[in-house]
Chains A and B, each alone.
Chain A
């Protein structure tokens, strides 16, 4: 089974702190994604990566950056956390050559910024 592991289930941070959310997948997938999920807004794509050191902005990249130094690991960085970044963050990965691009998700990190 594909496993996507997010390092923390719950995080509480202060406004202005630098926050790192880590995600690791064990299936050698080329593609990795970061979403945030908010009530009534569904899944919104923040950033995605289709290869090591490659990244592209999603629909809501403002206030976020990402890092992909190794194929299995995709990090989401909040340079200076703000209260409007309180949300559920979901990481996903997918195999590039499948044609179906089914995404496999981690369990999520619920981040509260106080």
Chain B
């Protein structure tokens, strides 16, 4: 049973437009959510996160929205740039995870065309 799902394996957008990456989860015990970005031949790097007590967190061009009732979160990138082309992983942490164990989605490959 996959607890964190990214249903779109890939997304292609034009430079300057908005990119919206989606993530759904099933476990109600998840209370902290993170997005990581991964370039080829590199490890993932942390991008932005949100706690379940919030519904929005913004950092520059990146905004994460959380809809707890729908168990859905999304990452908005505005405006998209060619350098944003990468694989984006959504991750979720359960409450009181002392070991820091996250559950990751399968990833969405974003391509931003110049």
Contact = CB atoms under 8 A, between A and B. Distances in A.
Interface of A: 4, 9, 30-31, 33, 35, 40-43, 45, 48, 50, 56, 58, 90, 92, 94-96, 99-108
Interface of B: 6, 9, 32, 34, 36, 41-46, 49, 89, 91, 93, 97-102, 104-107
A90 B44 CA distance: 9
Contacts of B97: 101
A103 B99 contact: no
Contacts, number: 71
Contacts of A31: 99-101
Contact of B34 (A40, A42, A102): A102
Given A101-B32, A102-B34, A107-B42, A94 B106 contact: no
Of listed B6, B45, B46, B101, residue having the most chain A CB within 10 A: B101
Given A31-B99, A42-B104, A50-B98, A102 B89 contact: no
B99 A42 contact: no
B93 A101 contact: yes
A95 B99 CA distance: 9
B49 to A, nearest CB: 6
A96 B44 contact: no
B43 A96 contact: no
